[in-house]
A and B are shown apart, each in its own frame.
Chain A
Amino acid sequence: MLLFLRRRFLFFFFTYLLSSLTIFFLLRILPGDPARVIAGGREATAEQVAEIRAELGLNAPLPAQYISWVGNFLGGNWGDTIAFRGAQNYDLIIERSLNSARLAAVALLMSVPLSLVLGVIAGLFENKLPDILISLLTLSVVSLPEFVTGLFLINIVALRWGSSDLAQSLGWWFPSSSAVRADASFGEMLPALWLPAFAATLVMLAYISRLTRAGVIEELKRDYVRTAALKGIPWRTVIWRHVLRNALLPTITVIAISISWLISGLVVIEYVFGFPGLGSLLITAIERRDLLLAQAIAMVTVTVILFANLFADIAYALLNPRVELA
């Protein structure tokens, strides 16, 4: 176990190092002067550029620049926000990350159980009617870009249907916009979260349920299922005790991977629903040429993803006796 953890942590740090190098050098590899970009492109005066160069330490050799940049990142010193004067990148990103995390959490809470159930049903009824229906559903859902789904939910579900007498009389509230206060509490946010979370759910749903289905089908074909059935225990027990235990294990990894996926999807969804999360912040940062902010967001995202993968791998290893921990 120790060896496994060591390997996994080494891998984690190595990947982290490489990701941070990638993000760092994105601004260096490309032709052009990052200071000029940050200063506002060709309109910037030479003094402004020089000032920013000095401020960012761009005159130091590259390795030193990288080290100080990583040091600043780890120390929470992420610089001033250019896109919103007066704000600190750190405060801004932490606040928005929290909001995105809430949205992601609601989306995961909605999508994971649902997609597991759908995937298991489809797998158990391989090529039969339930499977075909679920496959068609997930295929068509996975094919809709988030912004199409989002616009559909806003215009049809929230505005057209949500204002119908029936929906009104049911007392449901369909948020046609999720432009909540950035510092609102989770409880205040929740009513505005479910529709964008649902949009994210639709895509995740297809993804996770298709993999779950494949897992169930694969496990059902294994010899140990026959062994279990021939013990004379009920089929239901065979499924619950034997098949699902093995079929659902890889789902842990799948969910971790889908977090990275979810983050991409949330960028669009947050934008469409006007939700104050990390994704919409990123778009603003890039629109307003705040490359330092964008860089910091990228680092935060990568950190989240790498940690999610790390935890998923460890959880998988702990739960799965087949993984050699030695």
Chain B
Amino acid sequence: MRSVRVSRVYAAFKRSAGAQLRHPQSAVGTLAVAFFLVLALFGAQLAPHPNPNDQSHAARLPPTLDIGALHLGEHPFGTDRLGRDVYSRVILGAGSIFRIAGLGTLISVLAGSALGLFMGYQGGWIDEVIGRVIDALLAIPALLLALVLVGIVRNLDFEAGSWQAALADNVILLVISLLYIPIVARVARSATLDIRTREFVEAAEVRGESKAYIIFREILPSVVPSLVVEASLRFSYAIFLVASLGFLGFGARPPSPDWGLMVNENRGGFYQLTPWALEFPALAIAVLVIAVNLMSDGIRRALQKGA
């Protein structure tokens, strides 16, 4: 039974994939996201110099990339002020952004969906109370909450190896999850509210199905499209947030190849000397966010019309 239902949802996605390809913008976006995902997964294999702090090159070499001749050269994006290959660092940076933004999105979508489905189906005062708490959380701007949380956690001193220390190391991940769980829950809740009044849910109640059955078997498949759209949207905001935190110096620490950090490190006097060391990571952020947005638009078009 489950396999059939899953295949049903999958079929909707396949249809949407078809719709994606018909829409050139979404196709380009999806392909670009896939490209970055490959970089994120296999960055260490793909980067010519897999150590992000590898300084075994001459410093401040200009890019050798020749797009016209399709020629990469020794240092396609040049080397930075410390003699690191910018091309490798940009490639390695994809991993860092996907690990935090992607994983954060995944966690928040899973947890937020479960919460939202429960709230939407349960209704009543529980829904009301959680809903108000979510409203309150959402009144605090994301970046502000992130900054405060990071600020606090960075100043706490934990024993190395303790779970608190592990938490502190992944504070950005934690922040993204905390920030987006309520947002996703809100979306899942309203989608659930829409579905729960449908008569097929009442039909399930009339045959005495359990709460869990109704939530996960009856309601969830219809909510999945909204959740997928929301997930893609969240992902683009998460990338934004991670890059911004990196840029403000609250994200990854040097010598991490974080794109936001790279932009910040090279924005002063070195912008004159090695503009490429700023321009390529900035470009990478912009291209990735545009790609995710294009993909997200495509998914929205495909899933919210059909299904």
A and B associate in one complex? yes
Q: Which residue on A lies nearest to B283, using beta carbons?
A: A148
User: Which of A27-54 touch B at CB < 8 Å?
Assistant: 27, 30-32, 37, 41-42
A306 sits at the interface (CB 8 A):
yes
Q: What does DSSP make chain B's interface, helix, strand, loop or mixed? A: helix
B139 sits at the interface (CB 8 A):
yes
Report Cα–Cα, A51/B243, bound state, in Å: 38
Report Cα–Cα, A168/B139, bound state, in Å: 44
Report Cα–Cα, A268/B293, bound state, in Å: 21
Given contacts A148-B263, A155-B271, 12 further A-B contacts (CB under 8 A): A14-B136, A19-B137, A30-B156, A139-B294, A143-B293, A145-B286, A151-B263, A151-B267, A151-B282, A286-B150, A294-B151, A309-B139
A-B contact pairs, 5 of them (CB 8 A): A23-B148, A26-B152, A41-B156, A145-B289, A283-B248
Report chain B residues within 8 Å CB of A151: 263, 267, 278, 282
Asked if B286 contacts A264 (CB within 8 A), the reply is no
Report Cα–Cα, A191/B105, bound state, in Å: 40
Nearest 4 Cβ contacts at the A-B interface: A18-B136, A286-B151, A264-B143, A32-B156
A15 sits at the interface (CB 8 A):
yes
A-side interface size class: 35 or more
Asked if A139 contacts B297 (CB within 8 A), the reply is yes
A22 sits at the interface (CB 8 A):
yes
Q: Which one, A14, A143, A291, contacts B152 given CB within 8 A?
A: A291
B240 sits at the interface (CB 8 A):
yes
User: Which of B105-151 touch A at CB < 8 Å?
Assistant: 132-133, 135-137, 139-145, 147-151
Residue ranges of B at the interface with A (Cβ–Cβ < 8 Å): 132-133, 135-137, 139-145, 147-153, 155-158, 164, 236, 240, 243-244, 247-250, 260, 263-264, 267, 271, 278, 282, 285-286, 289-290, 293-294, 297
Asked if B286 contacts A289 (CB within 8 A), the reply is no
Cβ of A145 to closest chain B Cβ, rounded Å: 5
Asked if B147 contacts A286 (CB within 8 A), the reply is yes
Asked if A147 contacts B140 (CB within 8 A), the reply is no
